[in-house]
Structure 1
Amino acid sequence: MSDIEVDNINVFGPGLVEGKTGKRCLIYFSGLPINSDDSSADLYKDITHTIEGPKNPEIIFDFDRLNEDNNVEAYYVPLLPGDYKINIYFKKQLLNGCPFTAQIIGKPVSAEKLIRKVQVFGKASSLGRALIVNEFLVDCSKVKPVLGGLTVHVKGPVRSSAHLDIIDNRNGTYQILYKPILPGTYNMDIKIADTHIPGSPFKIRVLDRSNSIF
């Protein structure tokens, strides 16, 4: 992807002009060739965006395939009506045509209702051990339309912390891995679109590594 220049990338689509609350607002990119020799992960890093509006949604990209017009497809789901200012960057350079202003109409949509089908699997969401990697699964595959990825924040007891990793399985599920350094009670916030998923914040009891309860 290093040979792609910002002037060769075109961004267009109805989602840059208008849309409805709770619906996918589509955006298309040309000039981003995707094939077996290219790394989609590089594009995730190189393309960034900002959206300013009544509630700022996340743009979701599908870099694994091209649509029937050989364009990369992306979308966002606004939850509140109003004007949204959209800037999209490639390697921190603003794409041609930015900023775009999209006028969103419709009734306010509750993020809580959209994500109520999220499920959590694995006892490590409530019980873990210190000094080892604990893992559980968050299943968002039934959330339609997808509002965005997970944000996770964990806070431990005083003078304690936990190393945290989030693995996007690219199928609507996420593996949450955390390694606390000390026993104690840890609080973990897991959100989508700045909204807690069911069960969040999670209160996790972390025991000593050698505890026989496991």
Structure 2
Amino acid sequence: MSKKEIDPKRVTASGNGVDQGITGQMCMFQVINMANEVDNISTSINGPSQPTMMKGIDENGNAIVKYTPNLPGEYTVTVQYKGKHIKGSPFKVQILGESDPKLEMIKKIEVTG
């Protein structure tokens, strides 16, 4: 690793989006890396719902990631820098709140007649 390269374990993420959140409310986290290489940061989420993750850049050149979960439960948020997990990734994020009945999967269908 050259002097200019950053060790992925030195890249950090902070904010409620890598800790916990509430259904229907935006979760956000900031990814801080000394090289400000936002293009080399990839994110994904897996959980009861699959919210879209929106990525932007703050005034300091760090990545800002936002998502809005619609169902409660445990989500796994993965953050990688140059294809390798950053410090703490994957993050287990607990989403609290009520389920939106329109978004719950149908568990059983009974047809009569």
TM-score normalized by the length of structure 1: 0.40
Higher relative contact order, chain-length normalized (CA < 8 Å, sep 6+): 2
Report the Cα distance in structure 2 between the residues aligned to 1:155 and 1:161, rounded to whole angstroms. Answer: 6
Q: Give the 3 Å change call, closer, same or farther, for CA 168–147 of structure 1 in structure 2.
A: closer
Match of 1:22 in 2: 2
Report the Cα distance in structure 1 between the residues aligned to 2:78 and 2:65, rounded to whole angstroms. Answer: 12
- Tell me, yes or no, if structure 1 residue 132 matches structure 2 residue 25: yes
- Tell me, yes or no, if structure 1 residue 171 matches structure 2 residue 64: no
Match of 2:94 in 1: 205
| Alignment gaps of 5+ in structure 2 | 99-113
Match of 2:40 in 1: 149
Report the Cα distance in structure 2 between the residues aligned to 1:137 and 1:23, rounded to whole angstroms. Answer: 24
Match of 1:181 in 2: 70
Match of 2:101 in 1: none
Tell me how far 1:125 sits from its aligned partner: 1.2
Report the Cα distance in structure 2 between the residues aligned to 1:147 and 1:137, rounded to whole angstroms. Answer: 11
Report the Cα distance in structure 2 between the residues aligned to 1:170 and 1:192, rounded to whole angstroms. Answer: 20
Report the Cα distance in structure 2 between the residues aligned to 1:185 and 1:175, rounded to whole angstroms. Answer: 21
Report the Cα distance in structure 2 between the residues aligned to 1:136 and 1:127, rounded to whole angstroms. Answer: 11
RMSD (Å), alpha carbons:
2.5
Q: Aligned with 1:161: secondary structure?
A: coil
Q: Give the 3 Å change call, closer, same or farther, for CA 143–163 of structure 1 in structure 2.
A: same
Question: One-letter code of the match for 2:46?
Answer: K
Asked if structure 2 preserves the Cα contact closer than 8 Å seen for 1:115 and 1:143, the reply is no
- Tell me, yes or no, if structure 1 residue 121 matches structure 2 residue 101: no
Identical aligned residues as a percent: 26
Question: One-letter code of the match for 1:132?
Answer: Q
Report the Cα distance in structure 1 between the residues aligned to 2:15 and 2:3, rounded to whole angstroms. Answer: 32
Question: One-letter code of the match for 1:124?
Answer: G
Tell me how far 1:134 sits from its aligned partner: 1.1
Tell me how far 1:131 sits from its aligned partner: 1.1
Q: Give the 3 Å change call, closer, same or farther, for CA 133–127 of structure 1 in structure 2.
A: same
| Alignment gaps of 5+ in structure 1 | 1-20, 25-76, 78-112, 210-214
Tell me how far 1:182 sits from its aligned partner: 0.3
Match of 1:102 in 2: none
Q: Give the alignment of 1:21-60 within 5 angstroms.
A: 22=2
Q: Give the 3 Å change call, closer, same or farther, for CA 206–182 of structure 1 in structure 2.
A: same
Q: Give the 3 Å change call, closer, same or farther, for CA 185–147 of structure 1 in structure 2.
A: closer
Match of 1:91 in 2: none
Asked if structure 1 preserves the Cα contact closer than 8 Å seen for 2:8 and 2:82, the reply is no
TM-score normalized by the length of structure 2: 0.72
